[in-house]
Structure formats: C-alpha cells, structure tokens
C-alpha cells in the first residue's frame, strides 16, 4: 500500500511520547502516508522518504502556528494541546491525543471548558496531579485510532 497524496499526519512533537512517535514511524513505512514532526528543539527521526522533521525557532506557540499553516482538511494531527486541537478541528483536521482521545467538533468544547476550569483551579492555588504516565491501554487506543485513519486513507499501489 502507498499513502494517499491528499493526506498527511502531523505531530506536535515537543511533548509527544517516544512510544507514540515510534508507532507513527512504523505506520508511515507500512502505509506510505507522510508523517511530519514539528518541534522547537532538535529531534532524531529515522531516515525515510515518509518521515520528516521541521524544527521551528524557540518561542511561545511557534510550533502551533506552523502546524496551523501547514495542516489541511482531512490530515491527522497528534497533539495534547487542547486549544491547538480546537483550532485544528475548526480547520477540518482529524485530531487525536497521544492517549488516543479523538477531538471532534462534538467533544472539543467540553475539553476546552475542562482545561480552562483546571487552569483556574491551579491559578487559585489548588494542587493537582499531572497526567498519569502513558499506559499500554493508552498506546493501544492511540494505535487503533491511527490504524483506522491509515486504512481509510491508504490506497493500493498500481505498480
């Protein structure tokens, strides 16, 4: 199979866990769908025509702004940044967290509200725990979402 030239997978890579990146690299090789990681610090990626890395300058939301410029409707974006996910969903991108949570027009507003609520609690001095470590269940959930996307967008080679 080779990937459809009409879609790509983009990764907000600064905070993307290594096991998720490895899953994406394997999917790119298997399906031929281009995967591009964007981060503001150097990152190693396997040598491949299907895997690309863009390093952006340091700065607030620089990687987010680059993603918003590059992503097209129908592309898949991997991010755990809820405000960025909201903007990407509005652009027509399919958005998933590294834990396999799919952000859609129906779910993103609730996620934004919860994020803002938690931010307000933290600002008022309420201590909260950070996210739990990435579990095997999270990895499996992400892999299932990725597999569905790849199956929908992979095309058979005519060669």
Question: Token pair 């058979």 is at which residue?
Answer: 156
DSSP code at position 116 = H
- Contact indicator for 103, 80 with CB cutoff of 8 Å: no
Task: Please name each of the domains of the chain with its CATH number.
Answer: 2-155 (3.40.50)
Going by C-alpha positions, the residue among 44, 31, 43, 39 that lies closest to residue 4 is: 31
Q: Rounded CA gap, 9 and 142, in Å? A: 13
Show pLDDT as tens, one digit a residue, over the chain (159 residues).
455 567 899 999 988 999 999 999 999 999 999 999 999 999 999 999 999 999 999 998 999 999 999 999 999 999 999 999 999 999 999 999 999 999 998 887 777 766 666 677 667 777 767 678 899 999 999 999 999 999 998 754 332
Could you tell me the pTM of the whole model? 0.85
Q: Could you identify the residue written with the tokens 């060669």?
A: 159
């Amino acid at each position: 199979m080779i990937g459809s030239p009409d879609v790509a997978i983009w990764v907000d890579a600064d905070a993307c866990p290594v096991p998720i990146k490895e899953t994406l690299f394997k999917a790119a090789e298997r399906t031929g769908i281009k995967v591009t990681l964007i981060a503001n610090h150097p990152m190693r990626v396997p040598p491949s025509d299907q895997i690309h890395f863009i390093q952006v300058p340091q700065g607030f939301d620089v990687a987010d702004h680059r993603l918003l410029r590059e992503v097209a409707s129908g592309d898949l974006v991997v991010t755990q940044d809820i405000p960025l996910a909201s903007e990407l969903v509005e652009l027509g991108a399919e958005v998933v967290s590294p834990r396999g949570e799919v952000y859609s027009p129906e779910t993103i507003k609730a996620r934004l509200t919860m994020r803002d609520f938690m931010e307000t609690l933290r600002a008022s001095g309420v201590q909260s725990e950070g996210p739990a470590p990435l579990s095997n269940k999270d990895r499996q959930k992400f892999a299932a979402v990725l597999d569905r996307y790849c199956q929908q967008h992979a095309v058979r080679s005519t060669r």
